[in-house]
């Protein structure tokens, strides 16, 4: 490799970023590290800068690589893009950013022939859905009927143990079910189907029992990043530990115990201390909150005590004045009045120049119940607001990203980002790279341009069916088979077709309303609407102003059972806001629970507001 590496002492953060001392030390040091970083501390940026340091100084020695593992696909994509932006395409080829499930599945798919026959899945195994697991249990002789709770309980046991399974640690029925899922059952017309948990267990087993594979992984990755570490499950931790325990690979784990809101979904409670003990890691605490205004940070700090967290002297970004930050608690008699007031507040925010997608409405649960009236009232002010969940899921899909970019290219000239993206992805799908004959590349570009031009000509549309045909034409041009071979998940034609159908339907709604393709695509992407989502979906995001609707007992129905986790959940909502946050309570709300609301159980949040003296209480 012909390249001048940067001297370690001379390296400085890319793009003029200034890092606080603890962050800078984390970026350049060579020890296993647990980074405790609160909201807005710049976790992604820290990891991106560390990747740049390791690659640019050749500390991650060529041709070794960095492995970054996240939970969600968009988080993994985001980090990869950030690193590419900071240190360029060439170096970032040695930065692999992927999800736990992708990492595990790649190992299983690549090495499954090394598994013992008894644990080797069939070549054409599929990803098991809930009904497949139920069916497998049935074939093994256990029937749940409609009892969901019992199924959840039993289903969790299925992958609770490391392989190989024996009757010493697990009942016979589970071993039998594993076998049915691994091998399918011809008599029962049941295909080989694996859950992601099973795939992780298989990957871990492969690495633990095959020293060549273990060595290969160890040799490939000199450095590993673990994102959102507080949410790591035991299955995921077992995999990481088997790969890198007592090896030369250096791990940087980044997380925040104050944002631990996935315990109910199986996150491992002792993960921070386990990691520190197993990997003899040092611990670093970041002191910056770049996101929130000083007065909002004061409220966040006031929660540290109830979150069992040491008070630290948090620093805010210098772009803020000390008196910046607003917080309101609005108490209503009924939800109609609440919707009136909120829509007027939002209207006046927008008229002061706050961008519409810098405002977010957050609820604890059941987006539609808590937000329908507000959506209707906002519509009367000509402001769009929408349940973001379905769009979040769609927009992270590669086929949707491709369609969005293609239609934007067809509707408007001079969209270089879209062109770069489409060119890269279509090259990949067509197996074209720089090593190809220049004429082939030239022809390829010409062909793509022709297709886009062709689409452009066909955009003059009156009926939904014409749009549907046009989308089909685009998919056909690329070819479904190419999608399916590049993206595993599209091997299920139903899944793929369903995504395309949703794209057609939702984009058409927008076009029908605006008669403008650019606006329709922008609207589809959410550039002109207020997103509404649950706290869990909002994790990792930030907005100028947050409206938290429904600070009520029935939204926190599980508070008595899991007060610590719900405090964290509240903290996550609170810490999404950059400049302003409004909480609302309504005595009257049409939920499936009680229609008369109280806040007795979560009074500590109301006390907290009072104690800080920052939150302005308004009764209507």
Partner DNA sequence: GGTGCGTTCCTTTTT
Partner DNA sequence: GGAACGCACC
Nearer to DNA, 126 or 315 (CB): 126
Nearer to DNA, 470 or 602 (CB): 602
The reply to whether 537 sits near DNA by the rule CB under 7 A is yes
From residue 506, how far is each of 97, 205, 422, 459 by CA, in Å? 30, 44, 22, 16
The reply to whether 82 sits near DNA by the rule CB under 7 A is no
295-318 CB burial, b ≥16 within 10 A, e <16: bbbbbbbbbbebbebeeeebebbe
Residue with tokens 């109830």: 306
107-124 CB burial, b ≥16 within 10 A, e <16: bbeebbeebeeebbbeee
Q: Which stretch binds DNA (CB under 7 A): 288-296, 350-358, 462-470, 485-493?
A: 485-493
Among 593, 604, 612, 614, binds DNA (CB under 7 A): 593
From residue 542, how far is each of 362, 388, 531, 545 by CA, in Å? 11, 14, 12, 9
**Residue 465, Cβ density class (10 Å: 0-12 exposed, 13-18 middle, ≥19 buried):** exposed
Among 315, 396, 458, 486, binds DNA (CB under 7 A): 396
The reply to whether 536 sits near DNA by the rule CB under 7 A is yes
Nearer to DNA, 151 or 304 (CB): 151
The reply to whether omega before 164 is within 30° of 0 (cis) is: yes
Please provide the DSSP assignment of 69-98 as one string: EESSHHHHHHHHHHHHHHHHHHHHTTEEEE
CA distance 112 to 119: 9
Among 259, 371, 529, 569, binds DNA (CB under 7 A): 569
Residues 345-364 that bind DNA (CB under 7 A): 364
The reply to whether 143 sits near DNA by the rule CB under 7 A is no
The reply to whether 366 sits near DNA by the rule CB under 7 A is yes
Supply the angle between the helices 148-158 and 172-183 in degrees, to the nearest 10: 80
Among 92, 97, 99, 474, binds DNA (CB under 7 A): 99
The reply to whether 72 sits near DNA by the rule CB under 7 A is yes
Contact letters for DNA, residues 293-332 (x by CB under 7 A): ----------------------------------------
Q: Is 37 annotated as a binding residue?
A: yes
CB of 264 to DNA, least distance (A): 4
CB of 364 to DNA, least distance (A): 7
Nearer to DNA, 322 or 594 (CB): 594
CA distance 490 to 401: 14
Among 264, 463, 473, 620, binds DNA (CB under 7 A): 264
Among 29, 57, 209, 558, binds DNA (CB under 7 A): 558
The reply to whether 554 sits near DNA by the rule CB under 7 A is yes
Taking CA 391 as the corner, what is the angle to CA 386 and CA 392, rounded to the nearest 5 degrees?
115
Cβ neighbours of residue 210 closer than 8 Å, sequence gap 6 or more = 111, 114
The reply to whether 601 sits near DNA by the rule CB under 7 A is yes
What tokens does 40 get? 């807005």
The reply to whether 148 sits near DNA by the rule CB under 7 A is yes
The reply to whether 156 sits near DNA by the rule CB under 7 A is no
The reply to whether 401 sits near DNA by the rule CB under 7 A is no
Q: Is 38 annotated as a binding residue?
A: yes
Among 105, 112, 295, 504, binds DNA (CB under 7 A): 105
CB of 223 to DNA, least distance (A): 21
Among 446, 560, 610, 617, binds DNA (CB under 7 A): 560
CB of 76 to DNA, least distance (A): 7
The reply to whether 498 sits near DNA by the rule CB under 7 A is no
Cβ neighbours of residue 95 closer than 8 Å, sequence gap 6 or more = 51, 55, 65, 66, 68, 80, 83, 84
219-230 CB burial, b ≥16 within 10 A, e <16: eebbbbbbbbbb
Among 102, 354, 427, 432, binds DNA (CB under 7 A): 102
The reply to whether 491 sits near DNA by the rule CB under 7 A is yes
Cβ neighbours of residue 437 closer than 8 Å, sequence gap 6 or more = none
The reply to whether 592 sits near DNA by the rule CB under 7 A is yes
The reply to whether omega before 417 is within 30° of 0 (cis) is: no
CB 545 within 8 A of CB 581: yes
The reply to whether 44 sits near DNA by the rule CB under 7 A is no
Q: Is 41 annotated as a binding residue?
A: yes
CA distance 41 to 312: 13
Q: Which stretch binds DNA (CB under 7 A): 221-229, 349-357, 392-400, 578-586?
A: 392-400
Q: Is 613 annotated as a binding residue?
A: no
Cβ neighbours of residue 402 closer than 8 Å, sequence gap 6 or more = 422, 425, 478
Please provide the DSSP assignment of 459-523 as one string: T---SHHHHHHHHHHHHHHH-HHHHHHH-GGGGSHHHHHHHHHHHHHHHHHHHHHH--HHHHHHH
The reply to whether 17 sits near DNA by the rule CB under 7 A is no
Among 160, 331, 487, 544, binds DNA (CB under 7 A): 487
579-600 CB burial, b ≥16 within 10 A, e <16: bbbbbbbbbebebeeeeebebe
CB of 563 to DNA, least distance (A): 11
Beta-carbon count within 10 A of 44 CB: 17
Residues 164-183 that bind DNA (CB under 7 A): none
CB 339 within 8 A of CB 381: no
CB of 560 to DNA, least distance (A): 5
Q: Is 42 annotated as a binding residue?
A: yes
Among 71, 320, 332, 483, binds DNA (CB under 7 A): 71
- Binding site for ATP, residues? 37-44
Residues that bind DNA (CB under 7 A): 71-74, 98-99, 101-102, 105, 127, 146-149, 196, 261-262, 264-265, 364-367, 389, 392-393, 396, 487-489, 491-492, 495, 534, 536-537, 554, 557-558, 560, 569, 592-595, 601
């Amino acid at each position: 490799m012909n390249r001048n590496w940067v001297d370690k002492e001379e390296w400085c953060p890319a793009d003029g970023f200034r890092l606080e001392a603890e962050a800078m030390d984390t970026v350049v040091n060579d020890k296993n590290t647990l980074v405790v970083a609160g909201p807005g501390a710049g976790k992604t940026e820290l990891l991106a800068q560390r990747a740049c340091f390791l690659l640019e100084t050749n500390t991650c020695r060529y041709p070794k690589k960095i492995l970054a593992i996240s939970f969600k696909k968009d988080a993994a994509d985001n980090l990869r893009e950030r690193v590419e932006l900071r240190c360029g395409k060439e170096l970032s080829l040695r930065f692999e950013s992927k999800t736990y499930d992708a990492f595990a599945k790649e190992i299983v798919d690549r090495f499954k022939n090394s598994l013992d026959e008894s644990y080797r899945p069939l070549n054409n195994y599929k990803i098991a859905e809930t009904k497949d697991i139920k069916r497998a249990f049935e074939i093994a002789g256990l029937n749940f009927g409609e009892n969901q709770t019992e199924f959840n309980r039993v289903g969790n046991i299925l992958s609770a143990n490391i392989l190989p399974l024996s009757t010493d640690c697990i009942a016979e029925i589970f071993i039998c079910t594993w076998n049915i899922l691994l091998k399918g059952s011809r008599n029962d017309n049941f295909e080989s189907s694996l859950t992601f948990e099973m795939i992780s267990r298989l990957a871990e087993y492969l690495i633990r029992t095959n020293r060549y594979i273990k060595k290969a992984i160890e040799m490939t990755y000199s450095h590993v990043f673990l994102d959102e570490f507080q949410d790591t499950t035991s299955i995921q931790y077992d995999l990481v530990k088997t790969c890198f325990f007592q090896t030369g690979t250096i791990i940087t784990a980044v997380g925040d115990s104050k944002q631990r809101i996935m315990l109910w979904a199986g996150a491992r409670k002792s993960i921070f201390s386990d990691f520190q003990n197993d990997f003899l890691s040092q611990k670093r605490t970041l002191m910056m909150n770049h996101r929130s205004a000083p007065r909002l940070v004061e409220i966040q700090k006031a929660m540290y005590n109830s979150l069992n967290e040491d008070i630290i002297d948090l620093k805010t970004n210098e772009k803020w004045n000390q008196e910046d930050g607003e917080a309101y608690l609005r108490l209503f008699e009924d939800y109609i009045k609440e919707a009136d007031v909120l829509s007027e507040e939002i209207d006046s925010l927008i008229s002061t120049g706050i961008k519409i997608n810098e405002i977010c409405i957050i609820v604890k649960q059941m987006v539609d119940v808590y937000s329908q009236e507000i959506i209707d009232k906002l519509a009367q002010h000509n402001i769009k607001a929408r349940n973001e969940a379905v769009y979040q899921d769609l927009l992270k899909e590669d086929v949707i990203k491709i369609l969005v970019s293609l239609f934007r290219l067809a509707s408007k000239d001079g969209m270089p980002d879209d062109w770069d993206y489409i060119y890269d992805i279509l090259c990949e799908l067509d197996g074209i790279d720089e090593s190809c004959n220049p004429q082939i590349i030239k022809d390829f570009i010409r062909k793509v341009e022709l297709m886009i031009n062709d689409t452009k000509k066909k955009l003059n549309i009156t009926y939904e069916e014409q749009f549907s045909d046009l989308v089909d034409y685009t998919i056909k041009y690329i070819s479904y088979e190419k999608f399916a071979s590049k993206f595993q998940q599209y091997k299920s034609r139903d899944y793929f077709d369903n995504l395309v159908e949703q794209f057609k339907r939702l984009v058409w709604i927008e076009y029908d309303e605006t008669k403008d393709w650019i606006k329709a695509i922008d609207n589809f992407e959410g550039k002109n609407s207020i997103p509404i989502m649950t706290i869990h979906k909002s994790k990792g995001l930030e907005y100028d102003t947050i409206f938290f609707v429904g600070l009520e007992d029935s939204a926190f129905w599980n508070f008595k059972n899991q007060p610590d986790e719900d405090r964290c959940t509240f903290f996550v909502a609170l810490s999404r806001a950059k400049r302003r946050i409004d909480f609302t309570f309504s005595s009257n709300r049409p939920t499936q629970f009680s229609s008369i609301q109280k806040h007795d159980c979560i009074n500590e949040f109301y006390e907290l507001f009072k104690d800080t003296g920052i939150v302005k209480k308004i009764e209507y």
